[in-house]
């Protein structure tokens, strides 16, 4: 006499069993997973070489995030610095100090920055730059400081396989108050085709 056939599990119980395993596993994985920076040996070595050379040449470097603006900054008003055209490209001393100089925007349309600020207080700089291509945007700003010169270099990030709607990109950064002690500073936004510069008094 043959054994009676066992009834197969209903499909809904199979689904419930799968979910009972997947949901806790997914939660544990997401909750305890370490989100580390991907290992990029070539990029890491370039960055380390840049840091060593900058320090050797007396430069201080700081990276600050850039906030994208939907509209360009307003034209200069009272108390705002008057930016003027400056020679294109990196300043000679900074170019010599950089082991691998980051790419620059083509140039700048406008900039809104204070003409003076108090020591220890952060201040904002807004600008519109011309991107070098339509596959990158400004994600942050590298600040290089030496001997009364502050050079601001945009750091780009890829938009993947997408394209930007326009090559003009407006952003705002906040310069930490501890970066500049009291004194006068020449500030430069360098571009490959044109640059903008102005002076800042920190008192």
- CA angle 182-144-58, nearest 5°? 85
Residue 152's closest CA among 78, 64, 80, 84?
Answer: 64
Q: What does the pLDDT average to over 128-157?
A: 95
How far apart are the C-alpha atoms of 19 and 152, rounded to whole Å? 52
Break the chain into its structural domains and give their ranges.
41-202
Q: What does the pLDDT average to over 111-135?
A: 94
Q: Count CA within 13 A, CB hemisphere, residue 121.
A: 10
Winning range, highest mean pLDDT, from 43-52, 73-82, 194-203: 194-203
Please tell me the CATH code under which domain 41-202 is placed: 2.60.40
- Tokens read off for 44: 């890491």
Does the pTM of the predicted model rise above 0.85?
A: no
Sign of the torsion angle spanned by Cα atoms 20, 21, 24, 26: negative
Model pLDDT, residue 92: 95
Least confident segment among 70-79, 108-117, 155-164 = 70-79
């Amino acid at each position: 006499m043959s054994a009676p056939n066992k009834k197969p599990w209903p499909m809904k119980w199979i689904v419930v069993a799968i979910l009972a395993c997947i949901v806790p596993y997914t939660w544990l994985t997401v909750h305890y997973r370490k989100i580390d920076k991907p290992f990029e040996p070539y990029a890491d070595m370039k960055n380390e070489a840049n840091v060593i050379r900058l320090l050797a040449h007396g430069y201080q470097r700081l990276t600050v995030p850039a906030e994208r603006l939907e509209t360009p900054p307003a034209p200069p008003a009272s108390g705002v610095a008057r930016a003027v055209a400056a020679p294109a490209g990196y300043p000679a001393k900074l170019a010599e100090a950089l082991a691998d100089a980051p790419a620059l925007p083509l140039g700048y349309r406008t900039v809104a920055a204070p003409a003076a600020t108090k020591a220890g207080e952060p201040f904002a700089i807004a600008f519109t730059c011309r991107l070098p291509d339509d596959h990158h945007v400004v994600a942050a700003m590298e600040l290089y400081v030496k001997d009364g010169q502050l050079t601001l270099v945009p750091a780009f990030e890829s938009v993947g396989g997408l394209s930007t709607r326009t090559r003009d990109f407006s952003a705002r950064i906040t310069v930490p108050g501890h970066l500049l002690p009291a004194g006068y500073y020449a500030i430069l936004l360098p571009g490959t085709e044109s640059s903008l510069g102005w002076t800042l008094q920190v008192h």
